[in-house]
Every structure is written in structure tokens, then in C-alpha cells.
């Protein structure tokens, strides 16, 4: 059963080939068997999942089952989930039980999906390797000595090892797409404002966006259709109903113009990765797509701009963790100042502290104009580059990551090297565009991801291209040998 996609599992449930309870138990057994090696889950909600499965079976008996009723999923551990620990992989929130559901969680619950647990991540979504977790690093199912990418590494590893058919994630600078590329999964980041951020513990509010990690683009389209849409609790969501993203999946891509930004294919790009991308391009061309070079002149300025804007927003968002209202509190504080200082010092990890310090610095008097304002100007230039490019092309294609999965610990002491892991993904967040990473092949038995970027609110287009590519290839069907 674990080899089946969500589409196939839904069909099996509706054809009564298995019950929701049987399916839930099957995936819970896989999680309990394989998670100790991967560390992909922080919390496994077995009791709640089995109760939900019984309720789903009753819906089938009563004829009220929906398309996704009974489908097991998992949530990244920064989506508030009522009655369940929501830790953000931080000591700061190790004791926090969410009192309500995030909008994404409630929408997927309403669609009939069953959550089996909360997945591991980089602390407060800050990282590109999933090594910055209070609960320890997540391992890549393709090679347990390597990282799965971050910050949604737990979700990616769980889907790649087929412990779960799909999982939610968040993407601030590539935190869905980069782990998708490194684990051979499909990861989509919608347009900023397409999916509600209500109930998602914030890192950088103008960049964070909820999305998905799945086996296929078709599965992503199914789930995104349920997740997307206006939310009165989130003023940044768009006031229009989301389309059914599955309706255009099978459209022909003949005549579709796909832009290749010269800046995203530098001379130092690993030639083996470039070969994989070239083969993917030929596959798309064979279906009638037109490939043409474009220019995004400011795109390589994305990393320095991002690592000013994101820490600035993080320093503001994380100010609420003061040891008083909720979360971790130090023992025996001598006064209020000591309470603040020790609670934060003891509960935040090194990467989070590093980003808070950078963010506070660039927002401080005398440095705000020199750093933060300049970064926002670069952000606008990057957005303008994309707007101009989409006047001549329908989609943009790049590698997702400049490397395959790297060894655990190999970049943890070199932050600049670590940050460049997101060099092709960060500009998309700065511009607020939709993007998807799909499996494109392997280099030295490690996955390579292909990134497709769409125009604003044109998720249907990139899902269509991704689906047509996956119909013609089987890279997304490959499973790590120890998890078959």
C-alpha cells in the first residue's frame, strides 16, 4: 500500500479494497518501524488517528465520504494542532499544547484526511539541513549519513521513505522545495497569499507560505485544492476562491514557453546536475514545450537580501517568547531581566540566536537604512525581473538545489556555505511567486530536483507541467532501497 499515491489510495478506499482503519494502522506500523532510523517525527498521534479512522469508516458506511476521506497525512510541527504538542522543534515550545487548529489543519481535517503526527524540522523553520532541531537531526532515506534538507526535512523524509503519503510544510526561502529535491519528492510552494498562514508559528511573515510534500504533482493538486482559499483570520490571503487544481493537470504543454534564466546555470554548477536538468528539458521539448533563454539580472542578489529581511522579521516574531506568557521558563529567576535573558538563552538554539542577533542589528537605529531598506530595494528589483520575464514566457525552469544531499555536519560550521543551498529558491519567496520542485533524476545515487516557477496565482500551470513530466518519467516512483 505504501507504494500507492493519494489518488490510488483514495480509489482503493472508495472501492472498499481496504478500510480507513486498516490503512491508518498500516502507515502507523511503517512509522513505528522506520522512524527511529530517520527521526522524521516529533510526535506520533496514534490514538487520535485511529479514532479519526473509525469516524472515516462510518462516513463511507453512511455514504458521506469525500474524495480524501481516510487519507493519512502528517503536519510539520509548526502548524498548530488542537490538543497536540506544537513545538517548532524548539526547547522553547517543548511544553506547548496548541489550543486550536491552524486553518490548513482544519481545512484538511474537513476534507477527511487523517493526521498521524507532527514532523521534525529545523528550529522555528530556520535552516537548510534539518540539523537545527532540539530533537536531533533528520536523516535522508537515500543515505542515512546525509541531510534531507530543511527546514521541512521531517516531512520530506517521511514522504520519501513512504511512511506517509503526504505531509504539510512551510517555505520561507526554499524550505519545501530544497528538501523535496534532496529526497526525491514533489514539493510545492504556492503564491504568497494563496494559503492561509493563520495558526502557523511565524518565522518571517512576509516570506512564509504553507505548502506540501507529496509523491506526485497530482497528489499536490488534490491537497492544495482543499488547503487554498481566503481566510478571514489571515489578512494576507487573497479574497477569491481557489480553483480545482486537478482540472488542468492533463492539458497539453505543446507551445508552452519555458524560460531558462542564464544566471541560474552558472559555470560552477555541478556538470552532473546540469546533465540531469538538460535531460529533463529534452523531455519537455519532446512534448512540444518551447525552451528559451531569459535574464533575471538581480536574482543572484537574493541570498544577501534574504538574509537581512528574514532575520529582521524573525527577531520581531520571536520577541514574544519571553518566558512569561507560554513556552519555556528558566528556573529560579532573580528578577524580570534575568527571567527574560535566561529563558531565551536556555531555550533557543544557536542558529535561532544567530538570526535574532542579525535581525535586531539590521533594524537598529543607524543601520536600518544601510541594510534593511537596501535589502527591500533589492527585493523589488528581483520581483520586477520576474514580472518582466513572465511577459515573454509561461513558466521558468531552474535546478532546485546547486548540490545533492550533503553529509550531516559538513556545512554546520560554515553558515555562508549552508545559506547558498537556497540560492535558486530564495528569489521566489522574495517575489512571492508559486514554485514546485519535482524529481528529475539521480547523480551518484542521490536525487536531483527540477524547479518550475509560475506567474502569480498560476499554480495550475506549474502543476500541469510537473504532471506531464511525471507521466513521461518514473523518477518520482523510485523508493530508497531500505524502505521498499
Convert the pLDDT of each residue in 42-80 to its tens digit: 999 999 999 999 999 999 999 999 999 999 999 999 999
What does the pLDDT look like over 354-409, one tens digit per residue?
999 999 999 999 899 999 999 999 999 999 999 999 999 999 999 999 999 999 99
Give residue 314's pLDDT.
97
Pairing of strands 210-214, 435-443: unpaired
Q: Would you call 343 a catalytic residue per the annotation?
A: no
Of the listed 76, 107, 139, 411, which one is catalytic? Answer: 76
Query: Quick check: 455 and 461 in contact, CB under 8 A?
Result: yes
pLDDT of residue 213: 98
Average pLDDT, the chain: 97
pLDDT band at 143 (very low <50, low <70, confident <90, very high): very high
Mean pLDDT across the stretch 271-296? Answer: 97
> Taking 90 as the threshold, does the pLDDT of residue 240 lie above it?
no
pLDDT value of position 199: 98
Model confidence at 477: pLDDT above 90 = yes
Q: Where exactly are the structural domains of the chain?
A: 6-256+458-483
Return the pLDDT at 2.
96
Q: Indicate if 76 belongs to the active site.
A: yes
> What are the grid coordinates assigned to 329, written together?
521558563
What is the CATH topology of the domain spanning 6-256+458-483? Amidase signature (AS) enzymes (3.90.1300)
Catalytic, out of 155, 175, 343, 421? 175
Q: Give the pLDDT confidence of 395-452 residue by residue, as tens digits.
A: 999 999 999 999 999 998 899 899 999 999 999 999 999 999 999 999 999 999 999 9
| Sheet strand arrangement including 72-76 | 41-44, 114-119, 72-76, 166-170, 210-214, 186-189, 435-443, 446-454, 395-399, 257-261, 290-294
pLDDT given at position 413: 87
453-474 confidence digits (pLDDT tens): 999 999 999 999 999 999 999 9
Of 154, 118, 122, 124, which Cα lies nearest the Cα of 138?
Answer: 154
Pairing of strands 114-119, 186-189: unpaired
CB 458 within 8 A of CB 206: no
Grid coordinates in use for 54? 473509525
Active site residue 252: no
Nearest one of 161, 135, 166 to 148, comparing CA atoms: 161
**If DSSP codes are grouped into helix, strand and coil, which group holds residue 76?**
strand
For residues 356 and 315, is the Cβ–Cβ distance under 8 A?
yes
By the 8 A CB rule, do 135 and 120 touch? yes
Q: What is the pTM of this model?
A: 0.96
Cell of 122: 529545523
Question: What's the pLDDT score for residue 329?
Answer: 97
Set 87, 106, 151, 435: catalytic member: 151
132 pLDDT exceeds 90? yes
Query: Kind of pairing, strands 114-119 and 41-44?
Result: antiparallel
Quick one: pLDDT band at residue 241, thresholds 50, 70, 90? confident
Amino acid at each position: 500500500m505504501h507504494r500507492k499515491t493519494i489518488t490510488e489510495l483514495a480509489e482503493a478506499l472508495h472501492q472498499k479494497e481496504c478500510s480507513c482503519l486498516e490503512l491508518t494502522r498500516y502507515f502507523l506500523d511503517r512509522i513505528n518501524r522506520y522512524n527511529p532510523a530517520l527521526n522524521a517525527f516529533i510526535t506520533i498521534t496514534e490514538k487520535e488517528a485511529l479514532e479519526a479512522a473509525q469516524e472515516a469508516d462510518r462516513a463511507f458506511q453512511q455514504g458521506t465520504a469525500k474524495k480524501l476521506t481516510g487519507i493519512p497525512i502528517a503536519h510539520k510541527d509548526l502548524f498548530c494542532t488542537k490538543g497536540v504538542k506544537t513545538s517548532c522543534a524548539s526547547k522553547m515550545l517543548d511544553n506547548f499544547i496548541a489550543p486550536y487548529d491552524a486553518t490548513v489543519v482544519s481545512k484538511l481535517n474537513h476534507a477527511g484526511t487523517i493526521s498521524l503526527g507532527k514532523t521534525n524540522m529545523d528550529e522555528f523553520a530556520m535552516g537548510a539541513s534539518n540539523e537545527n532541531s532540539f530533537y536531533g537531526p533528520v536523516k535522508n532515506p537515500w543515505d542515512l549519513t546525509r541531510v534531507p534538507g530543511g527546514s521541512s526535512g521531517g516531512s520530506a523524509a517521511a514522504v520519501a521513505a513512504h511512511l506517509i503519503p503526504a505531509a504539510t510544510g512551510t517555505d520561507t526561502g526554499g524550505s519545501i522545495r530544497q528538501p523535496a529535491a534532496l529526497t526525491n519528492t514533489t514539493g510545492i510552494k504556492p503564491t504568497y497569499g494563496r494559503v492561509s498562514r493563520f495558526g502557523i508559528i511565524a518565522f518571517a511573515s512576509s516570506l512564509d507560505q504553507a505548502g506540501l510534500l507529496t509523491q506526485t504533482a497530482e497528489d499536490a493538486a488534490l491537497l492544495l485544492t482543499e488547503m487554498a482559499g481566503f481566510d478571514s483570520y489571515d489578512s494576507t490571503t487573497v479574497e477569491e476562491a481557489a480553483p480545482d487544481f486537478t482540472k488542468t493537470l492533463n492539458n497539453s504543454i505543446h507551445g508552452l514557453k519555458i524560460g531558462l534564466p542564464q544566471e541560474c546555470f552558472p559555470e560552477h554548477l555541478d556538470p552532473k546536475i546540469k546533465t540531469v536538468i538538460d535531460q529533463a528539458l529534452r523531455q519537455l521539448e519532446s512534448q512540444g514545450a518551447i525552451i528559451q533563454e531569459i535574464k533575471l539580472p538581480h536574482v543572484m542578489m537574493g541570498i544577501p537580501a534574504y538574509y537581512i529581511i528574514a532575520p529582521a522579521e524573525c527577531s520581531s516574531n520571536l520577541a514574544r517568547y519571553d518566558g512569561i506568557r507560554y513556552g519555556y521558563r528558566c528556573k529560579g529567576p532573580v528578577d524580570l531581566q534575568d527571567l527574560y535573558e535566561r529563558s531565551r538563552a536556555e531555550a533557543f538554539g544557536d542558529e535561532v540566536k544567530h538570526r535574532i542577533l542579525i535581525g535586531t542589528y539590521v533594524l537598529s537605529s543607524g543601520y536600518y537604512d544601510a541594510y534593511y531598506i537596501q535589502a527591500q530595494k533589492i527585493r523589488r528589483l528581483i520581483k520586477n525581473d520576474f514580472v518582466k520575464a513572465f511577459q515573454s514566457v509561461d513558466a521558468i525552469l531552474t535546478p532546485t538545489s546547486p548540490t545533492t544531499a550533503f553529509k550531516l555536519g559538513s556545512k554546520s560550521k560554515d553558515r555562508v556555505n549552508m545559506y547558498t543551498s537556497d540560492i535558486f529558491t530564495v528569489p521566489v519567496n522574495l517575489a512571492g511567486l508559486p514554485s514546485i520542485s519535482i524529481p528529475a533524476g539521480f547523480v551518484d545515487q542521490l536525487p536531483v530536483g527540477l524547479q518550475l516557477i509560475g506567474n502569480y496565482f498560476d499554480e495550475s500551470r506549474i502543476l500541469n507541467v510537473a504532471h506531464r513530466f511525471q507521466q513521461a518519467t518514473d523518477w518520482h516512483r523510485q523508493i530508497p532501497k531500505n524502505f521498499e
